[in-house]
A and B are shown apart, each in its own frame.
Chain A
Amino acid sequence: MLQFSFGSMEVLDIDARAAKLGIDWSHVNLDSIQLPPGQDFGIESDDEAVYHDDQSEFDTGFGNIIVVDHLPVVPKEKFEKLEGVVKKIYNQIGVIKENGLWMPVDPDTKMTLGYCFIEFNSPQEAQNAKEKSHGYKLDKSHIFAVNMFDDFDRLMNVKEEWEPPQARPFVPGENLQKWLTDEKARDQLVIRSGPDTEVFWNDARQKNPEPVHKRPYWTESYVQWSPLGTYLVTLHKQGAAVWGGADTFTRLMRYQHSMVKLVDFSPGEKYLVTYHSQEPSNPRDASKVEIRVFDVRTGRMMRDFKGSADEFSIGGPGGVAGASWPVFRWAGGKDDKYFAKLSKNTISVYETETFSLIDKKSMKVDNVVDICWSPTDSILSLFVPEQGGGNQPAKVALVSIPSKVELRQKNLFSVSDCKMYWQSSGEYLAVKVDRYTKTKKSTYSGFELFRIKERDIPIEVLELDNKNDKIIAFAWEPKGHRFAVIHGDQPRPDVSFYSMKTAQNTGRVSKLGTLKAKQANALFWSPTGKYIILAGLKGFNGQLEFFNVDELETMATAEHFMATDIEWDPTGRYVATAVTSVHEMENGFTIWSFNGNLLYRILKDHFFQLAWRPRPPSFLTAEKEEEIAKNLKKYSKKYEAEDQDVSLLLSEQDREKRKALNEEWEKWVMQWKSLHEEEKLARQSLRDGEVSDVEEDEYEAKEVEFEDVIDVTEEIVQESM
């Protein structure tokens, strides 16, 4: 048997070794070499995605044997009787193999030894028999002790004295936040196109994305960043995996959940929720849902929830295919303390210390249809629609968790629907209320604004100037006091801005301004506030208006034709607009500066997804941030100088590149010219001696008279007279 260890040897070594052994290496067909089963000669499979099945059972041959101890010790005469009894017991549990029962006998005394071996047909049966008969009372003094034969080695090796486990030396983990220390303070984004998933630096100075990591078939459906950007989660047949690390993306942890469909992180990225649903074989049944909650860092499954889809949704027409995602909504804040599930007439709030219901019971709220957590506090807002044809009013309530105390509630009349919008710092809650008009034929909308942080949570009602306007979109300014509403009729609705407090009016909402007739159907605030993009996606062909809300002025208008998605980078410096593969054409993304300058554009066929890597919140205090904003000039000087250097370098590089291209082209042209010249005579002869080429082919203006008899008619002219 030849033993080459291919894994560690260089090709040269192999050649040398082959020569030494007198083998003509080139004649060896590598494919024909068959390794003995189970041998890999240290060659590691490069398929690292293979999941090792920990439960794989090795057929060692003794897996289906059990050992029954504490049998009566009987003399030879009673041997057969005992054997009969034991057989009878175990035949009820499983099928004993032929000659599968062996009761050893002391060769000297001919007495049994008080135990026997029983071999079953399968390990499952043996396991079953062990479980069922362990502790079986044959009589008072004979209580069976049953063990698997395979367990004996293990049991024998148990040391008599307990030894403290060896503490493993501390291995420092990778710096998972290293991307935040990028020298140029760039942000990362992940895109998926075709089979590839790629992570880039958005290098706005170079007007180019700089690749970080690219991997084909990285995920089987989609990827997602964790809320603080530490991890990138990928989905696979076997489960989910998270990736991250200092320089490249390495796999940090795997979470087994076969056929996982959806994932969700808790806001502090401590827990990962995975979701899988199975279509029922009978279409009338609800689909089966399994949800698992994992600890992100240890990979341990904290709890799993199984059931039919009904238990994870409030029913209704949309609930047939599966539950609405995310099923579990996490309470705000980084503590990841509570998560809630909405199902029919119940709200189940779990806490993560024990992963069980708070107070061990759910909250019963009849007909509740929607719940929403405050993004910062453990306050839950819920909406209950009208009951009994309007006899019982609709209700919006705020409930504090874990006390389950209702902080505030408001009854609303003739309501058709409600939508709740929390402001990102949890200061305000806006509830968009659609009410029926008197005739009940149409609806109109208004807002109920809750000021959470003020005493007794005052509620204010806001109606639009024209209260019949339809509301198309609503968005709070992140960390701010303002919000924007698109209202009015398509295709040219109006956009209005309101503020919860202005210098003159701290306790009341006031309107800042209205922009008339905008081609917009979606609002995208910058994560730092102040700037907003009014976008006309899809039907509006990707109209973009970059708007400064402080000054109430338009900074730029642009168009990303057919754009389907818009996403701000986490710092609010850049915006990505993308056309995903809902269309065939134009797939790709464009990066803009916050004020609407087009920076660069990348086209990718079959473009599926774009996501900026989120950043954890800044450690700077609000005062420090303000100070920086005030003295921006001082801080920005350094960066402006850097910018200029880069742009100079770029134009220099560009010039050089062009020069090289031109020179290369000139070389080709010279070559062609000389060849053309060489072939001149040959060409001339091909053309029967005609001087061939355009250069020497002087035009000769010849005047050719051309007479053509078009028609000849004979006419007889009759002479009169």
Chain B
Amino acid sequence: MPLRVCSFSFSRPSSPSSTVISIDSDTKMRPILMKGHERPLTFLRYNRDGDLLFSCAKDHTPTLWYADNGERLGTYRGHNGAVWCCDVSRDSSRLITGSADQTAKLWDVQSGQELFTFKFGSPTRSVDFAVGDHLAVITTDPFMERTSAIHVKRIAEDPQDQVADSVLVLQSPEGRKRINRAVWGPLNQTIVSGGEDAVIRIWDSETGKLLKESDGEVGHKKPITSLCKAADDSHFITGSLDKTAKLWDMRTLTLIKTYSTVVPVNAVTMSPLLNHVVLGGGQDASAVTTTDHRAGKFEAKFYDKILQEEIGGVKGHFGPINALAFNPDGRSFSSGGEDGYVRLHHLDSDYFNIKI
């Protein structure tokens, strides 16, 4: 596995309002470039221990990497379409993937064996294991006559006992608009979804009742592209094409913070260690000009979670950033781009000493 190393620096934004910190220019963080996908990246996921990194892309094979050195462990072969999303169980034994081939698949992480296939009549967009890994929520796209739906599946302990039936199916009131992400709320009592209609909804995961909707006034104005929840399920952050990311309370759906940037947001993540959020994006792939890579702003932007101010940016991708994930230890993060690369960044001491 050849590793290409590129220079990289944690650059300050030229915002005059915040105090300037100096970063020793000699110590530069060098990212690890991981080229294992032939098509744009779609999703990145660390396991709980933070030693493994799963990547999904528009080619058909989710890939597993060592989160430390970027070495590739293996691939999961079996899907016949772009893979949009994945999730790994708490004990890192099971992987679930959702794909445009209208299936979601369960895999054995270690052997790469395909354990079960959930078939849907339309592409599956997002997957998420519940606390305890006995349940999974899978969203499907609007396709032909089918409207976008959220399916809750029971995951059997033993793959032999696995059944395809849904425990619960939720239909979005805006069925023709795609649901881009659905995740479990605290204690699996709720499901939080967001999608193209720019509305965040909280559902009762027992009854399927719609409990809450985000306020149109303060909420997103354009499709929600990504959703990332905090480790303790207390709050979550959403990214949207309206060039903002918003932080919400997961129980009450109160808007807590808004982070504004200059480009549509495709991916968001939060540092588990510091009060930082990371926004990734860039203009639509089809609108990317050939002039200058700076024009697209393909930067992962760091914001102070509390003050909502930009603290820095990490450049590098040649194309919009589609996926971001923070290592659970908070000391590294990775980004996946339209350019087909995963860039794995180990954050250096300068980063941890940032003061604003």
A interface list, Cβ under 8 A from B: 207, 541, 561-562, 583-586, 598-601, 603, 654, 658, 661-662, 665, 668, 672, 675-676, 679, 682-683, 686-688, 692-694
Q: How far is the CB of A148 from chain B (nearest CB, A)?
A: 59
Q: Tell whether, in the assembled complex, residue B187 and residue A585 are in contact, meaning their CB atoms are under 8 Å apart.
A: no
Q: Given known contacts A658-B307, A686-B187, is B232 in contact with A676 (CB within 8 Å)?
A: yes
Instruction: Decide yes or no: A207 and B188 within 8 Å by CB, A585-B262, A672-B232, A688-B132 being known contacts.
Output: no
* Additional A-B contacts beyond A661-B306, A675-B251 (8; CB < 8 A): A541-B292, A562-B295, A585-B262, A599-B16, A672-B235, A675-B186, A682-B187, A683-B131
When A585-B296, A661-B306, A679-B186 are in contact, do A694 and B231 touch as well, CB less than 8 Å?
Answer: yes
Q: Are A683 and B256 within 8 A (Cβ)? A: no
A347 to B17, CA, bound (A): 55
Alpha-carbon distance between A683 and B234 when the two chains are bound, in angstroms: 13
A599 to B16, CA, bound (A): 7
B9 interface contact, C-beta 8 A? no
CB of B47 closer than 8 Å to a CB of A? no
Q: Are B306 and A683 closer than 8 Å at their CB atoms?
A: no
Instruction: Check A687–B306 contact: CB distance below 8 A.
Output: no
Interface of B is mostly: loop
Query: Which residue from chain B places its CB closest to the CB of A539 in the assembled complex?
Result: B291
The answer to whether B231 and A561 touch across the interface, beta carbons within 8 angstroms, is no
B interface residue numbers (CB < 8 A to A):
14-17, 90, 130-132, 134, 186-188, 231-232, 234-235, 249, 251, 256, 262-263, 275, 283, 287, 292, 294-297, 305-308
Task: State the total of A-B contacts with C-beta under 8 angstroms.
Answer: 64
Q: How far is the CA of A562 from the CA of B297 in the complex (A)?
A: 12
Central interface residue in B15, B187, B232, B307, by most chain A CB within 10 Å: B232
Q: How far is the CB of A676 from the nearest CB of chain B, in Å?
A: 5
Measured between beta carbons, the chain B residues less than 8 angstroms from A658 are: 307
For B275, the chain A residues whose CB sits under 8 A away are 665
Question: In the complex the two chains form, what is the Cα distance from A672 to B308 in whole Å?
Answer: 20
Given contacts A207-B17, A600-B16, A668-B256, contact A661 B307 (CB under 8 A): yes
Chain B residues with Cβ under 8 A from A692's Cβ?
A: 131
User: Which of these, B188, B231, B307, contacts A686 with CB under 8 Å?
Assistant: B188
CB distance from B249 to the nearest CB of A (A): 7
Question: In the complex, how many angstroms separate the beta carbon of B29 from the nearest chain A beta carbon?
Answer: 24
Roughly how many angstroms separate A562 CA and B16 CA in the complex, as a whole number? 19
Instruction: Please name all residues of chain A whose beta carbon is closer than 8 Å to the beta carbon of B15 when the two chains form the complex.
Output: 601
Tell me which residues across on chain A come within 8 A of B134, comparing CB atoms.
686
A-B contact pairs, 24 of them (CB 8 A): A541-B292, A584-B283, A585-B262, A585-B263, A586-B262, A598-B14, A598-B16, A600-B16, A601-B16, A654-B17, A658-B307, A665-B275, A665-B306, A668-B249, A672-B232, A675-B234, A679-B187, A683-B131, A686-B130, A686-B132, A686-B187, A687-B90, A688-B132, A692-B131
- A207 to B15 Cα, complex, angstroms: 11
Contact B307 A687 (CB under 8 A): no
CB distance from B52 to the nearest CB of A (A): 16
Q: In whole Å, how far is B309's beta carbon from the nearest beta carbon of chain A?
A: 9
- Given A584-B287, A679-B187: A662 and B14 interface contact (C-beta under 8 Å): no
Task: Give CA–CA (A405, B296) in the complex, Å.
Answer: 59
Which 3 residue pairs spanning A and B have beta carbons closest together? A672-B234, A686-B132, A665-B306
Contact, CB under 8 Å: A585 / B297: yes
User: Which residue from chain A places its CB closest to the CB of B308 in the assembled complex?
Assistant: A661
User: Considering only CB atoms, which chain A residue lies closest to B296 in the complex?
Assistant: A585
Kindly identify which residue among B187, B251, B296 contacts A683, using a CB–CB cutoff of 8 Å. B187
Report the minimal beta-carbon distance from B47 to chain A, rounded to whole angstroms.
Answer: 13
Query: In the bound complex, how far is the Cα of B231 from the Cα of A668, in angstroms?
Result: 15
Once the chains are docked, how many angstroms separate the CA of A541 from the CA of B249? 42
A144 to B238, CA, bound (A): 85
Residue of B nearest to A561 (CB): B294
- Are B187 and A603 within 8 A (Cβ)? no
CB-CB under 8 A from A693, the residues of chain B are: 232
- The CA-CA distance from A601 to B130 in the complex, in Å, is 44
A598 / chain B contacts, CB cutoff of 8 Å: 14, 16
- Chain A residue with minimal CB distance to B48? A694
Chain A residue, CB-CB nearest to B132 = A686
Tell me the bound Cα distance from A235 to B176 in angstroms.
Answer: 41
Distance between Cα atoms of A591 and B130 in the complex (Å): 50
Look across to chain A and name the residue whose beta carbon is closest to the beta carbon of B16.
Answer: A598
* A207 / chain B contacts, CB cutoff of 8 Å: 16-17
Q: How far is the CA of A693 from the CA of B90 in the complex (A)?
A: 11
Q: How far is the CA of A291 from the CA of B262 in the complex (A)?
A: 42
Contacts of A675 in B (CB 8 A): 186, 234, 251
- If A668-B256, A687-B131 touch, whether A676 touches B234 (CB-CB below 8 Å) is yes
- Report A-chain residues with C-beta under 8 Å of the C-beta of B251: 675
**A78 and B308 alpha carbons, distance in the complex (Å):** 99
| A599 to B, closest residue via Cβ | B16
B residues within 8 A CB of A654?
17
- In the complex, which residues of chain B have a beta carbon less than 8 angstroms from the beta carbon of A679? 186-187
Q: Which of B132, B232, B283 contacts A585 (CB 8 A)?
A: B283
Residues of A close to B187: CB separation below 8 A? 679, 682-683, 686
| CB of A710, distance to nearest CB on chain B (Å) | 14
- Beta-carbon nearest neighbor of B186 in chain A: A679
Shortest C-beta distance, B329 to chain A (Å), equals: 10
Q: Which of B131, B287, B292 has the most CB of A within 10 A?
A: B131
Compute how far the CA of A584 lies from the CA of B256 in the bound complex, rounded to whole angstroms: 30
